[in-house]
Structure 1
């Protein structure tokens, strides 16, 4: 089992908020020795906390929620629950809870329908009637997210990893100056490339990237994140007001 971590480099002593975001990594890894899935430790801007996410499939689906404005927050299987995975039979039945801005709640499970070779798995049963009934009883809807749902979303996923990292790097930094400059430039031109913003004299590049990422997250601006890798040539357009 390999554990991946999304981290950011800092040059300062930890803030209290940094300490509160720490997760107990060792118990998770120790209890995962016989499990074949990866564990991701991810700083989520939407949830404003560090999450422990089991399996690559769940990680990809949940990262994509960072750019979904209809989602207020999402709660994957907790660190404590992941620490108790000792076999596939002991996995929690619900992979994540998703809370929408319209007040609805969803229970998500994650299932691979293809083998690493690309061939379909023999077990093609999707969903669990008992979990669906339990979700309905709690006022939630039940959804099973698969690897097929991620088709053609590789670039979008990669972009949201980049944007989340940009936000996380500056989460304890005052962004007011770059935010004002960004707002003025967008009001004046309505559409600019990222290169135009990053070459404004005197700006902090990391702060400007964080401002842009936050604006994309709340859909204040638009960019073609589905088909183009986010970079200096990315065209940023003012959102519809």
Structure 2
């Protein structure tokens, strides 16, 4: 993994070659993904940045993140993301120590995000990549029926298997998966995502009230 990262905001349809050829990109991988928390398509240079943003998508304490880079310039390793938490807390995340500004130039706490943190997260990054993709596939679809069915399953139980959730009659499985992902992302539901791959055998439980 590389520790440099560059982030840009993209329209829904993009010319990927433009971003591949940005000056300063070097050999870093380009990742393009839909961000449910920002309702935008993003382009990210560097695996460390990409996987940390996947973790941010699944963190119920994070409301959104704002990309600081200017894609008209070079793919600088000093680009940052301002992360807005529930409440008023804001952090500025960097994905490389190179080119950091002086702390008194930043109004928020500066946090260096590392590859070691991603490794310590176990299967969380891969699981949230899958869950974000599930939300993307159902983007724009109304999930009212699926959310009602999901809530009904927990009326007299604390834990329900995903296999039972997606087997409910009259629901769209893709929309139900997106609804489950959304409920996990905001903390309404919980499941084990660090040590086990998300699958039909996953047990869903109520989150904190």
- Structure with more of its chain in helix, by fraction: 1
Give the one of 26, 30, 36 matched to 2:27.
36
Higher relative CO (Cα under 8 Å, sequence separation at least 6) belongs to: 2
Within 2, Cα distance between the matches of 1:187 and 1:100? 30
Aligned residues: 200
TM-score by length of structure 2 reads 0.86
- Cα deviation, 1:15-60, whole Å, max 9, x if unaligned, reads xxxx953344232112258611011111000111101111111001
CA contact (8 A) 1:127 1:144 kept: no
Partner of 1:174: 142
The root-mean-square deviation of aligned C-alpha atoms, in Å, is 2.2
Displacement of 1:74 after TM fit? 0.9
Question: Which 4+ residue blocks in structure 1 deviate beyond 3 angstroms?
Answer: 126-131
Return the offset for 1:75.
2.2
Q: How does 1:79-158 map to 2 (within 5 A)?
A: 80-81=70-71, 84-85=73-74, 91=76, 93-111=78-96, 126=97, 130-135=101-106, 139-158=107-126
Contact between 1:74 and 1:96, CA under 8 Å: does it hold in 2?
A: yes
Output one character per residue of 1:207-241: Cα deviation in whole Å (capped at 9) or x when no partner: 11011111101110110111111000000011232
Consecutive unaligned residues in structure 2, runs of 5 or more: 1-9
- Could you tell me how far apart the structure 1 residues matched to 2:25 and 2:61 are? 37
Give the Å deviation of 1:72.
1.5
What secondary structure sits across from 1:140 in the alignment? coil
The gaps in structure 1 that reach 5 residues or longer are: 1-18, 112-125
Confirm or deny: 8 A CA contact 2:123 2:193 kept in the other structure: yes
The structure with more radius of gyration = 1
Where does residue 115 of structure 1 map in the other structure?
none
Q: Distance in 1 between matches of 2:46 and 2:100?
A: 23
Partner of 1:195: 163
